[in-house]
A and B are shown apart, each in its own frame.
Chain A
Amino acid sequence: MKLRTPLGRVRGLGAAHEGADVFWAQRLTSIASIPLTFFLVGSCLYLIGADYEAARAYISSIFVAPALMLVIVVFVWHMCIGMEEIIVDYVHSPAVKFASLISNILFSVFLALTCVYAILKLCFGA
Chain B
Amino acid sequence: MAHSKPPAGRPLSPHLQIYQLTLTFVMSGFHRVTGTVLYFGIVIPAAWLLAAAAGPDWFEFVNGLLGTIYGRLVLFGYTWALIHHMLGGVRHLIWDTGHGLELVSIEIFARATIIGSVCLTAAVWFAAFTLGGL
> Interface of A with B (CB < 8 Å)?
27, 30-31, 33-34, 37, 40-41, 44-45, 48-49, 52, 55-56, 59, 75-76, 79, 82-83, 86, 92, 94, 111, 114-115, 117-119, 121-122, 125
Interface majority SS on A: helix, strand, loop or mixed?
helix
Is the CB–CB distance between B46 and A34 below 8 Å? no
B69 contacts the other chain (Cβ, under 8 Å)? Answer: no
Once the chains are docked, how many angstroms separate the CA of A37 from the CA of B92? 17
Q: Distance in Å from the Cβ of B45 to the closest Cβ of chain A?
A: 8
Task: Give the interface residue-count category, chain B.
Answer: 35 or more
Is the CB–CB distance between B96 and A48 below 8 Å? no
Given A34-B86, A59-B52, A121-B53; A52-B36 close (CB under 8 Å): no
B104 contacts the other chain (Cβ, under 8 Å)? Answer: no
B90 contacts the other chain (Cβ, under 8 Å)? Answer: yes
Given A27-B96, A48-B132, A86-B32; A118-B89 close (CB under 8 Å): no
> Interface of B with A (CB < 8 Å)?
2-3, 32, 35-36, 38-39, 42-43, 45-46, 49-50, 52-53, 55-56, 59-60, 79, 82-83, 86, 89-90, 92-93, 96, 124, 127-128, 131-134
Provide the residues of chain A in CB contact with B79, threshold 8 Å: 41
Partner of A118, one of B38, B49, B56, B96: B49
